[in-house]
Chain A
Amino acid sequence: MEFADALLVSIVTASTPLLLAAIGELVVERSGVLNLGVEGMMIMGAVCAFATSLTTGNPYLGILAGIAGGAVMALLFAFLTLGLVANQYATGLALSLLGLGFSGMIGEHYVGTPGVKLPTLDIPVLSDIPVIGDAIFNQDILFYMTIALVFGVSWFLFKSRTGLILRSVGENHNSAHALGYNVNRVRLYAVLFGGVCSGLSGSYLSLVYTNLWIENMTAGRGWIALALVVFASWLPWRTIAGAYLFGAVLILQFHAQGAGWEVPSQLLSALPYLATIVALVFISRNRTVARVNTPSCLGQSFVPDR
């Protein structure tokens, strides 16, 4: 592999888990639900995927288990916030803590054991393209799924009727309810989708990124994904830009350090969060353009009055 190829592959690997989790959370937030439990769902996905692939020897079964792990956590969140109308912020935080602790318990016996790596699927001819070939056309199934998901979500939200309903639920749940849509059912599906994506993201961590299980291995990526959604101002395409920007900054600062440049590495580590704060400032300053995409009912519970 040439230097540039290797660099791009590293960037793509670092960005994919962020993108996966962010695209899921974007759909959740578009429906008006704020699930702060991304980190918890992700780590559950990671441990389920790792344990299953190690026991069965099949990484694809691992991915399924990762999806299930994330989805079960999302269901719990949905039960509490949609069913019992619990506070979404508190429930999300609790979900993160629960996921970190519970995954540690499940994964106790898998610490210190190398895992099963997800194979790459080489697309002939295209993967021979210089520089970008390896990074884009010689990847594993999760990478291709991620890209497909971004296309899919973008189409779904803005071109499909169901996507319109989902967005209207997030914009004004009372109107959506008055029009006869089942607000909480729509939100349940959205939350579940978010769980599936976080589960996939966790699977990517333990099956591709680093082939091992250690407690707390997500190391805050769930929070970066949450920040990314805001950074992308709830637009799917911008999450791609954001995820690759964050990934590129991370990898490039390592290269800069290795090459002996003096970079303030602490500052660069904080960059995703700084970028998000800047994005938030823009959103709150600009009343029309930037705010158009912010779901108005974000974080508000819906109780239908009868």
Chain B
Amino acid sequence: MRKLFAAAAAVALGLTASLGAQAADKTKVGFVYVGPVGDMGWSYQHDQGRQAIEKKFGDKVETTYVESVSEGPDAERVIEKLARAGNDIIFTTSFGYMNPTVKVAKKYPDVKFEHATGYKRADNVSTYAARFYEGRYVIGQIAAKMTKSKIVGYIGATPIPEVIRGINSFMLGAQSIDPDIKVKIIWINSWFDPGKEADAAKALIDQGADILVQHTDSAAPLQVAAERGVVGFGQASDMIKFAPKNQLTAIVDHWDEYYISRVQAVMDGSWKSEDTWGGFDMEMVHMADFTNMPEDVAKMAAETEAKIKSGELHPFDGPVYKQDGTLAVKEGETLDDGTLLGMNWYVQGIDGKVPQ
């Protein structure tokens, strides 16, 4: 019996050794997702990025992911496990993974870490995020052109700076076309509840909104828009299948190029700790096709997109006034990234208060 065990152990050792040898030629890439890959939103788009890496590098990479990892002690365990498993670079894709990522990174100085939407960096920890608000400026302009009731319904998840910034950017875009646009905002206090998203959409339409904007992840509001004959915008991914006649465009998270470039950097040995906040210019934000709108509106939207991409236009170019009338940034200047990142106030023209 003992012999048998010894033999088994030897075989096992040999196996791991050969596996190890094989793995050494490959760059190993790990991902941690906060939601299920099937959420059709945030985590889904990160996973699209992972698949893009596999497609691009083929046999030269090996990717793994762990989905639905809650933002607590669990995250640290999962990240450490990925580090110990020999991953060369690990992407942690939610704000709440910030401290666990930095902590694990200290213990594994040879592993590269990439943390999405955070602000803590180290020699082996980069941060990256996308300027989704650029897309929201474009849809603001489209909405102002398309609305008849001049009331836009806006479904928000939770009042964090990311969402507030989106609302402000949308509003500034809309006001650049028509200063009288009104926006009704409903918070559903969840990123992920199709039922509530649909209910909020119905409430907004019942209150006179003829355009729906969402900052939540499911296609439910668009389906309601299609049922009730109003139009709306997709979020995170192109949702045209759910509302072929009612989606105007969608703001698409697009991590493919960034992920490929970072993995490439690891392969070349040129990887450095950086902070990346990219928008249209870095292909991190895409607009889905401009559909169901007159040609001149589509043309205007494409032009705005190009202007933002080239840097000619910034959604938060001054003058920008806060809700109470105070000047946030004067003419000729642009709101700085620090203010944008911590944004907790509405711009002029939005009724109601930011929930505390």
Contact = CB atoms under 8 A, between A and B. Distances in A.
A177 to B, nearest CB: 42
A255 B192 contact: no
Nearest to A9: B202
Interface of B: 35-36, 38-40, 44, 153, 184-190, 192-200, 202-204, 206-207, 209, 218-220, 223, 237, 241-242, 351-353, 355
Nearest to B220: A210
Contact of B241 (A6, A112, A209): A112
B235 to A, nearest CB: 13
Interface string A244-263: 00000011001101111010
A265 interface: yes
A212 B243 CA distance: 12
A13 B353 CA distance: 29
A58 interface: no
A207 to B, nearest CB: 12
Is the interface on chain A under 10, 10 to 19, 20 to 34, or 35 or more residues?
35 or more
A263 to B, nearest CB: 9
A112 B199 contact: no
Contact of A211 (B36, B190, B223, B237): B223
10 contacts: A10-B203, A14-B199, A114-B242, A212-B219, A215-B36, A219-B194, A219-B196, A255-B203, A257-B184, A258-B184
A265 B206 CA distance: 19
A111 B44 contact: yes
Contacts of A266: 189, 355
Nearest to A250: B199
A250 B237 CA distance: 27
A220 B353 CA distance: 28
Nearest to B244: A114
A265 B36 contact: no
A55 interface: no
Contacts of A219: 190, 192-196
Contacts of A216: 36, 39, 192
A205 B189 contact: no
B355 A265 contact: yes
Given A111-B40, A209-B198, A257 B185 contact: yes
Given A14-B199, A212-B218, A255 B207 contact: yes
Contacts of B241: 112-114
A215 B39 contact: yes
